[in-house]
């Protein structure tokens, strides 16, 4: 009986050091819920970094043992590895390049060396657990070399890979000094998944132009095996959000927020602090709304939740300053004693509070400059139990391919964004309901569980076909 091993840079559980010792907290990411049904079963396993630096071997052993009880295995990273592999190559080379921000990308040999070394470290950790015929599903840009490393060590294994961020045009990929190694690394998989057909096409084109390997209907023949490439748009755990929005706890938050905000209309924005999310552009559009349509002053507020992220990387720290300054300027200019234009929070919120905010927002404002999928857009839809509210969505988020009933905008076009905000605020109830109903049907149906099933089935099918051909 083969087992399934999930591998990602972060584990679905984060370990924190508190005054009372170590605390193990479930990560709230969508991936953790979606894959929970797989890794918790039988001998299956999820392998990744638990998110903290260990002090000594005893602590390491203690954490490993705790995680093991919940089918997880820890890959511990040192401070140097976090600096050069995580903050360095992953988030200062690959992340900006894949999101079309080449001006932020650095190309340092020591970061590349750390990236190779940490991918090898993950490979060694997987091999400690993987048998020759196991199924291994690798996730995201931090581990692009892992499929090929695993292929060399376990030629018969079934290897899947899913990229959670955009795959950009070949013109971006070719800038990378290590483009050949990275593409070859990914091709170690039997099945490669992307959020959209656009990303998949970019990948096929990069492989053809850089490696001279053509594809036939998304199938690439390498000297060792056939690689199948396909699009799998990721979904959310719809019921989890819908249930949270209906809960007593969320309702009491809504009542408290309403009391504080009175009749003010709400535009909601929720993101990790990241330059890909278009946060300053969004603030400028809101500012223009108040300028161009003075009737909204005192009537509408922007609630902006920004979740701290990667604050050791230079661009993230300077973005924080830019956002602080913009918010300060808008509030200083327009605030009255009884009304704040922008309610800005720089921290994460628990699910019940998020669901409360989603469920009362007249407008969900999701305007990234680039985004692999963007699950916030789907979470907003799932929480609108009353079928009201308008989603404004960037055409450059993967989610825009599915959620065509949102108001789709170009996030760099401030004028268009400003007009979309006004249109959303005056949209009739009937039109809101028609659009929301269509989006809910889609988000409910193509949820994270169907996404997981689809990928796993396709992976099993790809492998079966290969084996049939090999024995024919």
Q: What residues act catalytically?
A: 164, 371
Q: Report the length, in residues, of the chain.
A: 472
- The verdict on 282 binding ligand G6P (CB under 6 A) reads no
Taking the complex as a whole, how short is the minimal distance between the CB of residue 312 and ligand G6P, in angstroms?
11
- The verdict on 251 binding ligand G6P (CB under 6 A) reads no
- The verdict on 66 binding ligand G6P (CB under 6 A) reads no
Nearer to ligand G6P, 165 or 300 (CB): 165
Nearer to ligand G6P, 368 or 411 (CB): 368
Nearer to ligand G6P, 205 or 309 (CB): 309
Q: Which residues contact 224 (CB under 8 A, 6 or more apart)?
A: 151, 155
- The verdict on 366 binding ligand G6P (CB under 6 A) reads no
Nearer to ligand G6P, 42 or 308 (CB): 308
Structure tokens at 225: 């095996």
DSSP code at position 404: T
Taking the complex as a whole, how short is the minimal distance between the CB of residue 368 and ligand G6P, in angstroms?
11
Written as one string, the DSSP assignment of 307-350 is E---TTSHHHHHHHHHHHHHHHHHHHHH-BTTB-SEEEEES---
For 192-348, where are the alpha helices, taking DSSP H only?
A: 197-211, 238-246, 248-261, 279-292, 314-334
Cα(249)–Cα(351) distance, integer angstroms? 10
- The verdict on 377 binding ligand G6P (CB under 6 A) reads no
Q: What count of other Cβ atoms lies within 10 Å of the Cβ of residue 259?
A: 8
- The verdict on 378 binding ligand G6P (CB under 6 A) reads no
DSSP code at position 187: T
Nearer to ligand G6P, 309 or 410 (CB): 309
Looking at 3, 251, 297, 310, which residue binds ligand G6P (CB under 6 A)? 310
Looking at 4, 5, 6, 10, which residue binds ligand G6P (CB under 6 A)? 10
- The verdict on 165 binding ligand G6P (CB under 6 A) reads yes
Nearer to ligand G6P, 91 or 158 (CB): 91
Taking the complex as a whole, how short is the minimal distance between the CB of residue 208 and ligand G6P, in angstroms?
25
Taking the CA atoms of the chain, what radius of gyration do you get in angstroms?
Answer: 23
Nearer to ligand G6P, 12 or 341 (CB): 12
- By CB atoms closer than 10 A (0-12, 13-18, 19+), residue 399 is buried
Taking the complex as a whole, how short is the minimal distance between the CB of residue 260 and ligand G6P, in angstroms?
31
Strand pairing of 135-139 and 21-26? unpaired
For residue 14, the cross-strand partners are 25
- The verdict on 164 binding ligand G6P (CB under 6 A) reads yes
Which residue's Cβ has the minimum distance to ligand G6P? 164
Taking the complex as a whole, how short is the minimal distance between the CB of residue 139 and ligand G6P, in angstroms?
7
Cα(341)–Cα(159) distance, integer angstroms? 50
Q: In 3-state terms, what secondary structure has residue 193?
A: strand
Taking the complex as a whole, how short is the minimal distance between the CB of residue 164 and ligand G6P, in angstroms?
4
- The verdict on 40 binding ligand G6P (CB under 6 A) reads no
Q: String of b and e for 371-387 (b: at least 16 CB within 10 Å)? A: bbbbbbbbbbbbbbeee
Looking at 309, 410, 416, 466, which residue binds ligand G6P (CB under 6 A)? 309
Q: What kind and span of H or E run contains 158?
A: strand 158-162
Nearer to ligand G6P, 276 or 287 (CB): 276
Taking the complex as a whole, how short is the minimal distance between the CB of residue 263 and ligand G6P, in angstroms?
36
Taking the complex as a whole, how short is the minimal distance between the CB of residue 95 and ligand G6P, in angstroms?
8
Structure tokens at 117: 């070394």
Looking at 81, 84, 134, 140, which residue binds ligand G6P (CB under 6 A)? 140
Q: Which residues contact 341 (CB under 8 A, 6 or more apart)?
A: 286, 290, 297, 301, 302, 330, 331, 334, 335
Q: What count of other Cβ atoms lies within 10 Å of the Cβ of residue 263?
A: 6
Which spans of this chain sit near ligand G6P (rule: CB under 6 A)? 10, 140, 164-165, 309-310
């Amino acid at each position: 009986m083969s087992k399934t091993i999930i591998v990602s840079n972060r584990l679905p559980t984060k370990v924190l050091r508190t005054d009372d010792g170590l605390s193990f907290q479930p990560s709230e990411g969508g991936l953790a819920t979606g894959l929970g049904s797989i890794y918790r079963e039988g001998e299956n396993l999820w392998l990744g970094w638990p998110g903290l630096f260990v002090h000594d071997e005893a602590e390491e052993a203690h954490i490993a043992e705790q995680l093991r009880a919940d089918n997880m295995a820890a890959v511990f990273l040192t401070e140097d590895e976090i600096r050069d592999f995580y903050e360095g190559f992953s988030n200062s080379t690959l992340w900006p390049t894949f999101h079309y921000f080449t001006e932020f990308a650095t190309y340092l040999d020591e970061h590349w060396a750390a990236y190779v070394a940490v991918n090898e470290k993950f490979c060694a950790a997987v091999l400690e657990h993987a048998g020759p015929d196991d199924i291994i599903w690798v996730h995201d840009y931090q581990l692009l070399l892992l499929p090929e490393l695993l292929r060399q060590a376990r030629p018969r294994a079934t290897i899947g890979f899913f990229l959670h961020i955009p795959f950009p045009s070949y013109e971006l990929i070719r800038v990378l000094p290590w483009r050949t190694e990275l593409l070859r690394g990914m091709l170690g998989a039997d099945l490669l998944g992307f959020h959209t057909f656009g990303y998949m096409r970019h990948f096929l084109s990069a492989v053809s132009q850089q490696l001279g390997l053509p594809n036939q209907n998304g199938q690439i023949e390498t000297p060792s095996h056939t690689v199948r490439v396909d699009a799998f748009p990721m979904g959310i755990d719809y019921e989890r959000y819908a249930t949270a929005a209906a809960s007593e706890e969320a309702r009491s938050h809504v009542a408290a927020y309403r009391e504080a905000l009175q009749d003010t209309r709400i535009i909601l924005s929720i993101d990790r602090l990241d330059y890909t999310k278009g946060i300053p552009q969004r603030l400028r559009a809101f500012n223009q709304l108040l300028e161009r349509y003075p009737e909204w002053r005192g009537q509408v507020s922007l609630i902006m939740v920004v979740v701290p992220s990667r604050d050791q990387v230079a661009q993230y720290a300077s973005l924080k300053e830019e956002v602080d300054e913009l918010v300060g300027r808008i509030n200083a200019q327009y605030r009255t004693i009884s009304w704040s234009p922008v309610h800005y929070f720089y921290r994460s919120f628990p699910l019940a509070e998020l669901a409360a905010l989603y469920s009362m927002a007249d407008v969900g404002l999701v305007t990234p400059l680039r985004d692999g999928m963007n699950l916030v857009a789907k979470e907003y839809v799932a929480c609108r139990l009353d079928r009201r509210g308008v989603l404004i969505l960037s055409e450059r988020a993967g989610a825009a391919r599915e959620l065509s009933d949102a108001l789709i905008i170009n996030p760099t076009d401030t004028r268009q964004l400003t007009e979309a905000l006004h249109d959303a605020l005056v949209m009739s109830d009937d039109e809101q309901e028609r659009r929301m109903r269509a989006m809910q049907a889609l988000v409910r149906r193509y949820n994270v569980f169907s996404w997981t099933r689809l990928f796993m089935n396709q992976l099993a099918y790809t492998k079966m076909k290969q084996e049939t051909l090999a024995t024919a």
